[in-house]
Amino acid sequence: MYGGASVGLMGVLADSALDAGGQVIGVIPGALVDREIAHRGLTELRVVATMHERKATMAGLADAFVALPGGIGTLEELFEVWTWGQLGLHTKPYGVLNVDGYYGQLVQFLDHARDQGFIRRVQRDHLVVEADAGSLLDKLTGTAAW
Tell me the pLDDT tens digit for each residue of 20-69.
999 999 999 999 997 879 999 999 999 999 999 999 999 999 999 999 99
Collect contacts of 79-84 with beta carbons under 8 A, ≥24 apart: 80/55, 82/123, 82/126, 82/127, 84/59
CATH number at residue 107: 3.40.50.450
Three-state DSSP state, 28: strand
In the chain, pLDDT over 90 holds for what percent of residues?
A: 90
What is the predicted pLDDT for the residue at 145? 43
Report if residue 146 sits inside a domain.
no
pLDDT number for residue 61: 94
CA distances from 33 to 5, 40, 59 (A): 8, 10, 20
Is there a domain that residue 23 lies in? yes
Q: What's the rounded Cα separation, in Å, for the pair 29 and 3?
A: 9
pLDDT in tens, 93-125: 999 999 999 999 999 999 999 999 999 999 999
Higher model confidence: residue 88 or residue 146?
A: 88
Give the pLDDT of residue 142: 86
Quote the pLDDT of residue 78: 96
How does 20-39 read in b/e, with b if 16+ C-beta sit within 10 Å?
eeeebbbbbbeebbeeeebb
pLDDT score for 143: 60
Overall domain count for the chain = 2
Q: Which of 102, 100, 123, 99 is nearest to 111 (CA)?
A: 123
Task: Let me know whether 84 and 114 are in one domain.
Answer: yes
Containing domain of residue 18, as a range?
1-62
Residue 6: inside a domain: yes
